[in-house]
A = this chain, B = another copy of it.
Amino acid sequence: MTNNMSDPLVIAGRSFQSRLFLGTAGYPNQKVMLDALKASGSEMATMSIRRMDLSGTEEGLLDVIRGKVHLLPNTAGCHTAHDARLTADLAREALETNWIKLELIGDRELLYPDIVELVRTTEELVNDGFVVLPYCNDDPIACRRLADVGAAAVMPLGSLIGSGQGIANPRMIELICERSPVPVVLDAGIGTASDAAQAMELGCSAVLLNTAVSKALDPVRMASAMRLGVEAGRGARLAGRMPKRDFAEPSSPQLGLIGG
C-alpha cells in the first residue's frame, strides 16, 4: 500500500512496512501458522526460545520461518534475570540475531512483568550489544526508564497475556505514547481486530499479538483481519479523528428542511 510505503516504522534502524508483529505459538499446525503469517503481512515473527528448538534434532519452526521474516526471539517463561540473559545469549548464537523481546515474568499465573528486574536486565542486555524490546506494563514511568537504559522500543500490555480482553486502560496507553522517546508496541491482550485498530489510534507504533490469531476459529482469516485492523487504526490516527461530544450534532444542514 502506498500509505505504508510512505509511513514506515523504524526500530533500531530497521525499517518495517507492516506494523503488525506476529507470534508463532499455539497454531493448529505449522501450515496454518505459515499461512497466517503470510496473511498478516507481518515482517517480524516472535518465537519463544527453548532448549529443544535449538538442539537441531528435529526440523523446527526456525527452518520454515527463517528467511521469510525477521525473527524476534523472546524470553517467554523466564522468571529471573539470569534465565532471561541465558536465553537471550542462546538465541543470539543460534538465530544469528541480536534482537530480543525481553519477558521477565513476576508471577506464573498473571504472566505480569517484573518492572524492577526488567529495567535492570534491559540495561545489561543493551550493554551486551542486544537490541532489546522489553514486554512491560502500562506504566509511563517504567516505559521511560526502559527507554532511558536503551530499550529500542517499549511493549506495554493491553491486558493480561492470552486474555483477549483488549486494552484495559486506553488512556494510560495514550499517555505512554505521547511521552515515549522510542516506539511503543502494544503487546498482550489483543483479542480481535478492533482492539488492534484501537491500539494504533491511541498512538502505538505497532502491535504484537499471537493468541488472538492462533486461537481464532480461522487463524488465517483472523490474521488478515488483524492486518486490516492495524492499517485502519494507523490510518485513523494519521487522519485526525473528530472530537467526541457529549451531545448530538446533526451531520446534515437544517436549513430548508420540510417542516424545519
Q: Check if A241 sits within 8 Å of B222, measured CB to CB.
A: yes
Q: In the assembly, what is the distance between CA of A242 and CA of B191, in Å?
A: 6
Most buried by B among A107, A168, A250: A250
- Among B145, B226, B235, the residue within 8 A (CB) of A222 is B235
Q: Check if A244 sits within 8 Å of B165, measured CB to CB.
A: yes
A144 interface hit (Cβ, 8 Å): yes
From residue A93, how far is it (CB to closest CB) to chain B in Å? 13
- Among B119, B162, B201, B249, the residue within 8 A (CB) of A251 is B162
8 A Cβ contacts from A43-102 to B:
47-53, 74, 76-80, 82-83, 86-87, 90
Interface segment among A10-18, A124-132, A213-221: the answer is A213-221
Nearest B residue to A257, CB-CB: B77
Residues of B within 8 Å of A42, CB to CB, are none
Nearest B residue to A227, CB-CB: B232
From residue A173, how far is it (CB to closest CB) to chain B in Å? 11
Q: Check if B235 sits within 8 Å of A90, measured CB to CB.
A: no
Residues of B within 8 Å of A243, CB to CB, are 164, 215
- Among B140, B194, B247, the residue within 8 A (CB) of A198 is B194
A210 interface hit (Cβ, 8 Å): yes
Q: Check if A171 sits within 8 Å of B171, measured CB to CB.
A: no
Nearest B residue to A55, CB-CB: B256
A111 interface hit (Cβ, 8 Å): yes
Q: Chain A 236-260, CB within 8 Å of chain B: the 1/0 string?
A: 1011111111111111111111111
Q: In the assembly, what is the distance between CA of A139 and CA of B162, in Å?
A: 18
Q: Check if A239 sits within 8 Å of B225, measured CB to CB.
A: yes
A32 interface hit (Cβ, 8 Å): no
8 A Cβ contacts from A178-205 to B:
179, 191-198, 201
Measuring CB to CB, which residues of chain A are less than 8 angstroms from any residue of chain B? 3, 23, 25-26, 47-53, 74, 76-80, 82-83, 86-87, 90, 106-107, 109-116, 119, 137, 139-142, 144-145, 159-165, 168-169, 171-172, 175, 179, 191-198, 201, 210-212, 214-219, 221-222, 224-229, 231-236, 238-260
5 pairs, CB–CB < 8 Å, chain A vs chain B: A52-B256, A53-B256, A160-B245, A163-B244, A211-B249
List 6 tightest A-B contacts by C-beta distance, closest first.
Answer: A217-B240, A225-B235, A83-B259, A162-B249, A106-B141, A228-B232
